[in-house]
Amino acid sequence: MKKYWTVFKKSLKSETIYRPAALAGIAGSLLGFFMQVFLWKALLGSGARRDTSFSDMLLFIIINSFMLELTRTNVAGIIENSMIDGTISMELLRPMSYKTFLLMNALGKNTYGTLTRTVPILIISVFLISGTPLPNLYHFILFIMSAFLGILLMFEVTYLAGLSAFWLQRCWFIEFYLMGFERIFGGTMVPIWFYPEWLKKMSFFLPFRYMTFEPINFFLGKTPVEEAWFPILMALFWLMALNVLDKCIWQMAVKRLTVNGG
């Protein structure tokens, strides 16, 4: 476990080297945040949706920004690049699980991104959400649990996309489609509250809404505590199913790499 903690710390530390990039990221996050705030204020102010208050939407934007930073990952791109330049063979010689190495590396980068790009938004938001009720203890605990599962789910999906590079070498287009599904069925661009009923029902049977949208629902208290079992169990189901699938694909990928490598 110590070696994986070392990977996490080194990944976190490596991000601090690029300070101009961090400043640009902060500026971009703040610009995106204010654009969403003004857009939704105009839409809700014009009566676009009467059963969703601007306070709810503001909290959604804040927590959504937080979750997007926590779940952001470029695992597929890393695997693709290592396949192209041939360093994948060296990566597999590490005295640790390649998958866990990628996970800890991603968590280190995401932690830094969350601290630099989301904390400024949270500080500014304090002046915007004054008087807005925060979640009770039960919903906050459910939010933490669901957020943790969401991080792992996003990693599993992008890791599976990356494994396709063992056959295709280029897998960026698969990740592109997956991110499109995540934006639609995960409600990261427009909350699923606004979706038509048929699209809402479809999202329940896909893993994407359990990455970011369900944690946000728990934080806002829109999912009653007595109904929390369904999204939690669905997230666990998808996590286990994807984990079994990636193990099978990994076994085939390693065999293929060994055969091609002689």
Tens digit of each residue's pLDDT (9 = 90 or more) over 249-259 = 888 887 766 54
pLDDT value at position 262? 45
Say whether pLDDT at 245 is over 90: yes
Say whether pLDDT at 189 is over 50: yes
pLDDT value at position 94? 78
pLDDT in tens, 202-230: 999 999 999 999 999 998 888 888 888 99
pLDDT value at position 144? 93
Residue for token pair 């890791």: 159
Residue 180 or 235, more confident? 235
Q: What is the mean pLDDT of residues 36-40?
A: 84
> What is the full DSSP assignment across the chain?
-HHHHHHHHHHHHHHTT-HHHHHHHHHHHHHHHHHHHHHHHHHHHTTS-TTS-HHHHHHHHHHHHHHHHHH---HHHHHHHHHHHSTHHHHTTSSS-HHHHHHHHHHHHHHHHIIIIIHHHHHHHTTTSTTPPPP-HHHHHHHHHHHHHHHHHHHHHHHHHHHTHHHHS--HHHHHHHHHHHHHHT-SSS-GGGS-HHHHHHHHTSSGGGTTHHHHHHHHT-S-GGGTHHHHHHHHHHHHHHHHHHHHHHHHHHHHHHHHT-
Residue 157 or 118, more confident? 157
pLDDT value at position 130? 62
This prediction's pTM: 0.88
Instruction: Collect all residues with Cβ–Cβ distance below 8 Å to 13 and sequence separation of at least 6.
Output: 108
Q: What is the mean pLDDT of residues 120-136?
A: 74
Say whether pLDDT at 64 is over 80: yes
